[in-house]
Structure 1
Amino acid sequence: MYGDDDRYQIILRAENIPNVRLFGKACPYAKVKVTTGPQKGKLVGQTEPCMRYLSPNWTKIIFLEFSPSEVTELEVAIYDYHKGQHHKWMGEATFEATSVFQSPGKVQSKQIGRREDSRLYISIEKSIKGPARGHLQLHLRGLDMKNVEPGLFGLGRSDPFFEVAKKDADYSVGQVKWNTVYRSEHIDNNLNPYWRPTNIGLEELCYGDLEWPLKVSVFDYENSGKHRLIGEFETTIADLQNRKAIRGNADREQAILLSVEEKFKTYGLLCVLKAELSEVVLAQ
């Protein structure tokens, strides 16, 4: 019924979701369901839970197939994740898919809850913009990271994790977004972190376009969710492959400098241990 040209990506984030827990903070995740048209009642997908943070920037991409000629209403409901327990409803909003896609920046937001600053944001982008199908096998480690967490008596150490984001821009309205597609685990008290390898689908990562602009950012993890930026850099898949470590897993010559643009300073190095394409097929 639908082809590649009818395939889209839903990207979600929220700000200041009302907390539904009496003690501690909720762990919100979102479910997306179609409520009109030929797919009425279909659960399209759900995000990962964002632990104890009420302004989540979810990384899980949700795929949706629809025709802009149809009216496709989407119900986005947010729940508090409780392992092994009932997941409590936190709020919801309804969006029409074609309307979102045709909006400036391809994004809309709606209020959730009573507070005006409690908002749910949805972006809808074309899912396939290049011919590549497959995965990127990515393995990174950090070296000589700047300690941005002084802690009590200056004894603390940063707890680094990294994110990979792709660039989405609507230059007609001067809007540029970096949508996060992967977030690593954090490593406690370590300025030379060695993260687990990961496998990222090319459709999620770069819409199948191997030259698509990407950004890698390293943060110091905070339980509050207000993570501190250590440094970042813009890149592409080809650039990551060209910077792969040659002289072992601490190859400083091949490593990429982490910087903070507005401060014009370097805050550590990132070593690319692996950046290989797998199962790649070029669509006709």
Structure 2
Amino acid sequence: MAAVGAPPPRATDCVTKVALTISCDNLLDMDAFSKSDPMCVLRMNTSGPHWYEICRTEKIQNCLNPRFSKSLVLDYYFEVVQKLRFEVYDIDTENCNLEEADFLGQMECTLGQIVSSSKLTKPLVRRDRTPAGSGTITICAEEQTDNRVVLFEAAARKLDKKDFFGKSDPFLEFYKQTETGWQLAHRTEVIKNNLNPTWKPFRISMQSLCGGDVEKLIKVDCYDYNNSGSHDFIGSFQTTLSQIQQATQSYAAEFECINSKKGKKKGYKNSGVIIIKQCKTVKEYTFLDYIMGGCQINFTIAIDFTGSNGDPKSPRSLHYINPQGYNEYLAAIWAVGNVIQDYDSD
């Protein structure tokens, strides 16, 4: 039973948004008659010595142990080594000009190190790498996304017959309410020639279905599938995820499938009944959840030294013993190892 217009499956992207919460302790006191007014600036390294500012926290007045309330949000890519530098300044101007600020210390690390630790504390150092007093900085990471999904089991009873030589080939479409109208969130597979179908269990992300708001209206349309693509409308109903969940706690939630065009016909009740047998919200764990939960990635290297790879004295061989100590195998090992090392504690 093929899904109508369903997109092909794709691998989960190893990218997500991460919110970094920053705090410091024992900062240098650079003000004569008060304490430092710290602010943290986050920079990222792209290539070579080049660092560019991504974002910064708010300034906290007169504090040597600041807890910054503004989170710094980054896109986290597992396959990329994202080098970060946290710079702490004592801000003396209203416009937070760094050129007029006193430098309190910095810390460099990768985003992977923060994510795999969940909470990372390191000493602050001056630009010459000497300790910045006894100052430390603590970074906490939290994934910025709603990872909940809703598991559905749906069926129908006594749907309208739409096909001249058969019954109906029904499928369902779930819609999310948005400011600009209804947005398709999910489409089930087609059940051929059946007025009392039972669809395979399916899942819809909470974000796609209702934006994480269980009280927001959702719409469910039922259609009779046609190969031409012009599907016949059977009926529809609107509800909320909260209503479905409450109803399914006892047995099953039943909703009359209404075709508004038939509503004026004498004796019309409905075009069938849609039955939600199960509606369960669960968290779908991401790659980041596993890493922050303590999952370790072990890096094992195996090299094939067969004769077909060529003479290692020849530059054409992948095993070429380069006088500069660098070949293609080493390049690959170096590239992968740089990523994996942040996720293996031994």
Larger proportion of strand: 1
Task: Give TM-score scaled by structure 2 length.
Answer: 0.38
Kindly indicate whether structure 1 or structure 2 has the higher relative contact order, using CA contacts under 8 Å at least 6 residues apart. 1
Task: Give TM-score scaled by structure 1 length.
Answer: 0.46
